[in-house]
């Protein structure tokens, strides 16, 4: 999430069968990229990022290239202490969680349990006449392309807008306070009070509430918790043992502390954000997920990459088609696709980037976020992509 321009995530450009999982592990052990031709360029890009953003903390970079994976670490976990991140450092994924939710929903569609065009009310108890506009209901796919019309968050309170000026506390602190008492029952109660102002699917409106609702729909479809679905349908098959919504005490000790622009330590992303932004992971684990998606072979993965919305405005001059899949943003240019998602909240930033035609993937995670570093993250990842392969499509 880009909390300064889009809240909890980067705003899209231009407005903008049981799963047969193949276990794609790391190529041998996750290892530093010593001796590879592009490493010097990545070193320089990271050094420039840290030099130009003195408030930045740690950077962990995972690369999938030529079938091999590499993990590179820079900076410090605690400003001023010289504690570099390790391969087993756990980072907050924030809104990258939404891509896991989209993949789970794609699995349900591949299995015939749902259709992406289903009225979301088919999976809710009670009467929700408010979840339609002029006869057009919110469909499942609308929950995952930010065109549902649902608010940014539920509860829909002014202080939960990152731009709210009436509360001096950091945004992450305000979110954590709500998480202590707000639950699923309250969410569904508040859902009755939502007022749509346009037909679902008609306009972009970033919504964490929509992704959370998708998580609750999945729980209804499978009769299991969202955490269990993640564990049994994605994390275990991919051997992602250091990834989850909640952490063990041992993993908690490895969690990167998050810092805002003022140097204040931020609270941990709460599990309450669930399908919208609660996931934590390590770089080696995320490379397993990246490899699975870059391969683009599993039917559910492919479905999650299929556009549910396509813009008519070109991205790069008169070229580049922007579209949105199931919580993936995508641009196709000259026969190549860049598929990405990022998660940003005060104290954490993560970008997950796929280039399937080039068999290339990238994940970049940091534990500091402010207005300057939020913008600098794009420059960093595009410099890295260019060093990996000049024909990569940049992330807009």
Q: Residue 35: helix, strand or coil by DSSP?
A: coil
pTM of this structure: 0.91
User: How far, CA to CA in Å, does 263 sit from each of 27, 55, 154, 171, 270?
Assistant: 37, 7, 28, 14, 20
Q: Domain for residue 126, yes or no?
A: no
Q: How many CA atoms lie within 13 A of 59 on its CB side?
A: 27
The mean per-residue pLDDT over the stretch 299-307 comes to: 98
Q: Domain for residue 59, yes or no?
A: yes
Q: Domain for residue 104, yes or no?
A: yes
Which pLDDT tens digit goes with each residue over 188-221? 999 999 999 999 999 999 999 999 999 999 999 9
Into how many domains does the chain fold?
1
301: number of Cβ within 10 Å: 21
Mean pLDDT, rounded, of the chain: 90
Segment (H or E) for 378 = helix 371-388
192-204 burial code (b ≥16 CB/10 A, e <16): eebebeebbbeeb
Q: Domain for residue 312, yes or no?
A: yes
Q: Domain for residue 64, yes or no?
A: yes
Residue 29 pLDDT exceeds 60: no
Question: 31: pLDDT confidence band, cut at 50, 70 and 90?
Answer: very low
Q: What is the DSSP letter of 337?
A: E
User: How far, CA to CA in Å, does 392 sit from each of 20, 120, 278, 365?
Assistant: 30, 37, 30, 20
Q: Domain for residue 139, yes or no?
A: no
Distance between CA atoms of 227 and 101, rounded to whole angstroms?
11
- Domain residues for the domain of 384 are 39-116+229-388
- At residue 34, the pLDDT reads 57
Q: Residue 133: helix, strand or coil by DSSP?
A: strand
Looking up tokens 């309250």, which residue turns up? 186
Q: Domain for residue 326, yes or no?
A: yes
Distance between CA atoms of 385 and 74, rounded to whole angstroms?
17
User: How far, CA to CA in Å, does 293 sit from each of 304, 325, 343?
Assistant: 9, 13, 17
Which pLDDT tens digit goes with each residue over 119-136? 999 999 999 999 999 999
Q: Domain for residue 14, yes or no?
A: no
Q: What is the CATH number of the domain that holds 378?
A: 3.40.710.10
């Amino acid at each position: 999430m880009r909390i300064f321009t889009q809240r909890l995530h980067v705003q899209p450009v231009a407005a903008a069968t049981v799963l047969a999982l193949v276990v794609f592990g790391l190529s041998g052990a996750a290892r530093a990229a010593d001796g590879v031709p592009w490493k010097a360029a990545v070193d320089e890009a990271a050094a420039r990022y840290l030099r130009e953003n003195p408030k930045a903390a740690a950077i962990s970079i995972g690369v999938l290239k030529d079938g091999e994976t590499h993990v590179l670490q820079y900076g410090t976990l605690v400003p001023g202490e010289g504690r570099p991140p390790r391969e087993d450092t756990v980072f907050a994924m924030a809104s990258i969680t939404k891509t896991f939710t989209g993949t789970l929903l794609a699995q349900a569609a591949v299995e015939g349990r749902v259709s992406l065009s289903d009225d979301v009310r088919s999976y809710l108890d009670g009467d929700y006449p408010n979840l339609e506009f002029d006869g057009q209901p919110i469909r499942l796919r609308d929950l995952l392309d930010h065109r549902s019309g649902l608010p940014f968050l539920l509860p829909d309170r002014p202080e939960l807008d990152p731009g709210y000026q009436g509360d001096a506390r950091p945004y992450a602190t305000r979110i954590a306070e709500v998480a202590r008492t707000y639950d699923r029952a309250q969410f569904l109660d508040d859902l009755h009070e939502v007022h749509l102002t346009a037909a679902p699917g008609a306009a972009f409106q970033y919504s964490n509430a929509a992704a959370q609702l998708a998580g609750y729909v999945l729980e209804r479809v499978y009769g299991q918790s969202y955490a269990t679905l993640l564990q049994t349908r994605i994390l275990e098959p991919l051997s992602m043992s250091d990834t989850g919504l909640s952490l063990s005490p041992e993993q908690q000790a490895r969690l990167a502390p998050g810092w805002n622009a003022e140097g204040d330590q931020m609270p941990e992303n709460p599990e309450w954000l669930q399908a919208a932004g609660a996931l934590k992971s390590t770089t080696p684990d995320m490379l397993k997920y990246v490899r699975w998606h870059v391969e683009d072979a599993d039917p559910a993965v492919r479905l999650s990459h299929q556009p549910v919305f396509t813009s008519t405005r070109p991205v790069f001059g008169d070229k580049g088609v922007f579209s949105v899949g199931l919580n993936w943003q995508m641009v196709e240019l000259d026969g190549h696709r860049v598929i990405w998602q990022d998660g940003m909240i005060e104290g954490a930033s993560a970008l997950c980037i796929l280039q399937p035609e080039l068999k290339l993937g990238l994940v970049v995670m940091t534990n500091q976020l402010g207005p300057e570093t939020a913008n600098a993250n794009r420059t960093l990842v595009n410099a890295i992509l260019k060093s990996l392969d000049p024909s990569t499509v940049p992330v807009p």
